[in-house]
Chain A
Amino acid sequence: MNEAISALLGPAGPELTCERCFDEVDRYVEQEQAGRDAEAAVPGMGAHLEGCPACREEHDSLRALAGESFTNP
Chain B
Amino acid sequence: MATSTVAPVEEWIDALRDEGPRREAAISRLHDLLLRAARFEVNRRKATLPHLRGGSLDDLAVQSADDALVAVLAKLDDFRGDSRFTTWAYKFALLEAAVRLRRLSWQGREVPLEPAAWERLGGGPSSPEAGAETQELFAALRRGIDTELTAHQREVLVAIALNDVPIDVLAERLDSTRGALYKTLHDARQKLRRHLADQGLAIEEVSG
Contact = CB atoms under 8 A, between A and B. Distances in A.
Interface residues of B, number: 52
Contact of B189 (A10, A19, A53): A10
Interface string B115-142: 0000001111000001000100110010
Contact of A69 (B5, B98, B204): B5
B102 A54 contact: yes
Given A5-B207, A8-B157, A17 B124 contact: no
Contacts of B145: 8
A58 B87 CA distance: 12
B183 interface: yes
Interface string B154-165: 000100111010
A65 B189 contact: no
Contact of A5 (B41, B102, B134, B185): B134
Contacts of B196: 9
Contacts of A7: 161-162
Interface string B66-99: 0000000000000000111011101100110010
Nearest to B121: A4
Given A2-B122, A2-B123, A30-B83, A65 B192 contact: no
Interface string A58-73: 1001101110110001
B178 interface: yes
B203 interface: yes
Contact of B95 (A58, A65, A66, A73): A58
Given A3-B122, A8-B157, A61-B98, A66 B87 contact: yes
Q: Which 8 A-B pairs have the closest CB atoms?
A: A10-B189, A26-B83, A7-B161, A4-B121, A27-B82, A26-B87, A2-B123, A73-B6
17 contacts: A2-B137, A3-B122, A4-B123, A5-B134, A5-B138, A7-B161, A11-B207, A12-B208, A17-B182, A22-B91, A26-B83, A52-B167, A54-B98, A65-B90, A65-B94, A66-B84, A69-B5
